[in-house]
Amino acid sequence: MSSSDIQLLLTALASVLVLVALIVSRIRMHPLLALLIVSIGVGFATGMEPVAIVKNLSNGAGKTLGAVGVVIALGAMLGKILADSGTTERLANAILSHTSPRMIPWAMTLVAFVIGIPMFFEVGLVVMLPLIFSVARKLESQERFKGSAYVYVGVPVISALAAMHGMVPPHPGPLTAIATLKTTVGPTMIYGFIAALPAMILGGPLYGAFISRRMTTRPDEALLEQFTTTREEAAGRNAPGVGLGVLAALLPALLMLVHAGAEMLLPKDSAAMHVAAFLGDPLVAMLLGVLFAAFALVLLRGGDAEKLREAMGKSLKPIAGIMLIIAGGGAFQQVLTSAKVGDAIVNLTHQFSLPPLALGWLIAMLLSVSTGSATVGIVGAAGLLAPLAGADPSLNLPLLALSIGCGSLFFNYANHAGFWMVKESFGMTMGEATKTISVVQSIVSVAGLIMVLLFNLLPRLG
């Protein structure tokens, strides 16, 4: 390693510490301002030209908002329609009436597992928030419940969505590793599904039950009112049936699942593949979900179009701040990436002598933690190990792709957009968000690595 590599790594570490200090100290700076200030500081500290710093800020914020901002806005509209129509109330009642309080985290894990097959982490969380808040609000009203019901219900969802996002194709991370290492989707998917089960159980229902007793986290009241209804409000409505409500809530996931299946079964240049790719794009799928919910749950049942429009407009106000903070996280991530922190991490890993499966996990982990991008972690690790993968026929490439995906999940923190989404959605402090999403994803990541090493002792698939 060169002195410049060491300086870059120290700068990245210092930037995270300064960011946390600005937010949690007496200064109590708004996260968006803190993210922008620290990003500019990193730019100057690493020798960037002022014009380049500004370009990285705008590109990082714009890219992140372009990827998830509109989808989050559409998800807020869908959640508002589901809440106002009484759908989430009925779904929550259906879960609670057939599940004991102790089994609720397991039921939520199963729902998130299904939704997480086709959906990105942030998109899946947006879709699940109305159900999380509705179930948790009812659970909170039970006098016997101790701790934070929202953490108790939400952590299993975070765990399942994270496990599916990092371990199972057709999510972009695993697919990128598969393509770079020139391996196949089938075995990687089978390994990923099996490895995800213990990982999301450890990080979800088990850890959630432990940590929720020690927290009092409660989302902002405006966000709660947007995504939930009280029993009295629901009683005054002619709520749709559970089946129609489930279809409306899951339609975006179903469209993305069709796209995922088409990627594995259809030729890339076929007309059917192009249609599936268009309908299964997260933005298009969420838009179609909102339109279906608006017509099926409101307009076709005699609802007022003007009230529907007002409700969807109001749904954007509570999440506007969340989207801007996520954009700030994207700017911070882009500056770190442009400063070549990832190259310094790669040079650092050259100092280690580890088996390829462990080394792939380590490189992806370090790149993801330092740059705030799981994609950078996966691309960097897969690219670095691709020559080894081609030269060593004894290496189990599907397991190497899985280990890289698992490594990219570790310790999602302040330079990750997902961290800010969880923190702001649940109304958490920095410490509370660290105890939830950062620790949960670390548990999932380490459990995934352990499963990879165990799989490597068995005869390989394919």
The residue among 382, 362, 368 whose CA lies nearest residue 336 is: 368
Q: Give the pLDDT of residue 72.
A: 86
Q: Is residue 134 part of a domain?
A: yes
pLDDT higher than 90, residue 392: no
The torsion region of residue 147 among left (phi > 0), alpha (psi -120 to 50) and beta comes to left
pLDDT in tens, 293-328: 999 999 998 889 999 999 999 888 888 888 899 899
Q: How many domains does the chain have?
A: 1
Q: Is residue 120 part of a domain?
A: yes
Q: Distance (Å, rounded) from C-alpha 369 to C-alpha 437?
A: 13
Q: Is residue 404 part of a domain?
A: yes
Most confident listed range (310-314, 328-332, 389-393, 404-408): 404-408
Q: Is residue 291 part of a domain?
A: no
Q: Is residue 300 part of a domain?
A: no
Q: Distance (Å, rounded) from C-alpha 176 to C-alpha 242?
A: 38
The residue among 416, 335, 423, 337 whose CA lies nearest residue 379 is: 337
* 419 contacts 412 by C-beta, under 8 angstroms: yes
Q: Give the pLDDT of residue 194.
A: 95
- Count the Cβ atoms, other than its own, within 10 Å of residue 409: 31
Average pLDDT over residues 348-369: 90
Q: Is residue 262 part of a domain?
A: no
Q: Give the pLDDT of residue 236.
A: 53
Who has greater pLDDT, 12 or 123?
12
Q: Distance (Å, rounded) from C-alpha 94 to C-alpha 297?
A: 18
Q: Is residue 303 part of a domain?
A: no
The rounded mean pLDDT for the chain is: 90
Domain around 215: 3-231+309-457
| Residue 14, C-beta contacts closer than 8 angstroms, at least 6 positions apart | none
CA angle 388, 169, 449 (to 5 degrees): 55
pLDDT in tens, 67-104: 788 888 898 899 889 888 888 888 888 888 888 999 99
* 219 contacts 321 by C-beta, under 8 angstroms: no
Q: Is residue 136 part of a domain?
A: yes
